[in-house]
Amino acid sequence: MARKSRPTNSKNWENPIDTKLIEKIITRSEPVEDQENLRCFLTNVLLFLKRVDGIDLTEEEKLYPSHSQFSHLTFRKGRSTADGLKYRLNIIDRYQITNTQRIINIIASTAVSTPKGQLTPRQIHLIEELHKNPELTQYELAQRLSTTSRIVRNELTQLRQAFSFAVIYNLDFGKFRLALFEIDFRTRSLDASEEMERHFRRTPPLFLRRINFDHNYRDGFFHFSVPDQPSGLQMLEQRMKWLKSNFLEKSTYFRMRSFRIDISFENYNVLTGNWILNDDTYSIDLLRFISNHDREHLPPRKQFFSEPIHFDRIDYILASTPYVFGEKQHTEIRQKVLEQHGYSISRKTIWNRQKKLIEAGVFYPSVWYDTPELEELVKFCIECSPKALEPIYRLISILPYTYSVETDVGVTFSFHRPSRCSSITGLLVQTFEQIDGVSNVTIFRYEPSFSPQLFTQTADRWDESRQRWLLRKGDI
């Protein structure tokens, strides 16, 4: 059956797009001689929407010239196209994007649909609420989402299955008198990289957390959890000297002070499942945006080195054993502790110990999800003065998923970069370098890391009676 036209005269048609906003964008666009070109493209879009709504075009509109970059596009028929256009126009206005070709590219991207791995608005709302408070119950989540506990339960199940969604528990190392250090390095050659990696795989130090190399296999970084006492810091210095003399061309190390996980869907289009995060979106005005943008107060950073607790080896083993809280896991934990450490403890003891550790603030819960299209992990190391931290954190907070750490010399953060948005990396570097107080910006593109998984074995070095670490040669 043929679809009937809406019984409304085209002159009285309610345009779903704000024409004043369109005129504002056209007037501000550059170069000026291309403004009519942009007007032609946007008019083609508006006429398409009229056809979708079943509105008869006037004779003048029927004769309106077709824009060359519009004619080959295939837009989806439906209100979602208008919504997608509204979204992009607001982005263009908000970030003050003025280049005509960039504006056309952003609008044209409305024609692209990627339904695979697409988050719904409710799922996004759920993730945002759990990010604010990961310990909310399903009933509390249902209240915040104005829905039922059953729907929340179903949404969580879908998120776990489709996006590996989970609440994870980060360890506050300071509670156990440990300091986290990062060593950034460049090796002398590819041969030196191979030799160094072979050495650490063969005889890994007990307190080594991980080694990561960049794609070039010369740049990279170490993470060490170092006993926060003079002997531990001295051994780290000795390790640094040994690395420099044998493998490294240059290196620097710093202590990690605090961290925060930021999640933002500000640049996620729920209509297409795409992230809009590239230089066409941000243009070169990103620095001006973060300087002028009136954002909500950023959440506090979690301190790595809060007041230490009094603990024994079992406390430490339970805290450093990967697990998910819940009675079903207690049998598995009990078996691991017995096999790996020789301690026989009951499920009740595990429960009571876990409760004590939680109350002591040993764990910092946060949410994790394998976000759509966020395929590549990029690490930024920024050396800066304290005054530069606020604009840096403001910029970090609008990126999709970041884990940032404040250090002795600035900030380092890992950024899950959307696929097809590789240009954002260079733009971020340029923006950070323009921030007053930033002295150096280094990036790493992650290769699979080497992690010796020896952390729980460090329990053998803990002196329960003296409440200090007893280190041996080669532990760090």
**Fold category of 121-163 in CATH:** Arc Repressor Mutant, subunit A (1.10.10)
pLDDT at 2: 42
d(CA 54, CA 313): 73
pLDDT at 130: 93
pLDDT at 67: 67
Nearest by Cα to 378 from 342, 432, 330, 340? 432
387: exposed, middle or buried (Cβ count in 10 Å: 0-12, 13-18, 19+): exposed
pLDDT at 327: 45
Nearest by Cα to 100 from 192, 146, 38? 38
Q: Each residue of 72-91: pLDDT tens digit?
A: 555 655 666 677 777 778 87
pLDDT at 141: 94
How do the domains of the chain map onto residue ranges? 14-111, 121-163, 259-303+369-445, 313-359
Q: CA triplet 301, 177, 316: central angle to 5 degrees?
A: 100
| Residue-level pLDDT, tens digit, the chain, 476 residues | 444 444 444 445 556 667 788 888 888 888 887 888 888 888 887 787 777 667 777 878 777 777 666 655 556 556 666 777 777 788 788 777 787 877 887 777 665 444 446 888 899 999 999 998 988 999 999 999 999 998 999 899 888 888 888 888 788 889 999 999 999 999 999 899 989 989 998 999 999 999 988 878 899 999 999 999 999 999 999 999 999 999 999 998 899 888 888 888 888 877 777 777 654 555 445 666 566 555 555 656 666 567 899 999 999 988 887 554 444 467 777 887 877 788 888 888 888 888 888 888 888 888 888 765 776 788 999 999 999 998 888 888 888 889 899 998 999 999 888 766 777 888 888 889 989 999 999 998 876 677 776 777 899 899 999 999 999 999 99
Task: Look up the CATH number of domain 259-303+369-445.
Answer: 3.30.70
pLDDT at 110: 63
Same fold, 121-163 and 259-303+369-445: no
Whether this prediction's pTM lies above 0.85 is answered by no
d(CA 241, CA 243): 6
Backbone angles phi, psi at 250, to 5 degrees: -155, 155
Q: Are 353 and 315 in contact (CB under 8 A)?
A: yes
d(CA 328, CA 347): 10
pLDDT at 8: 43
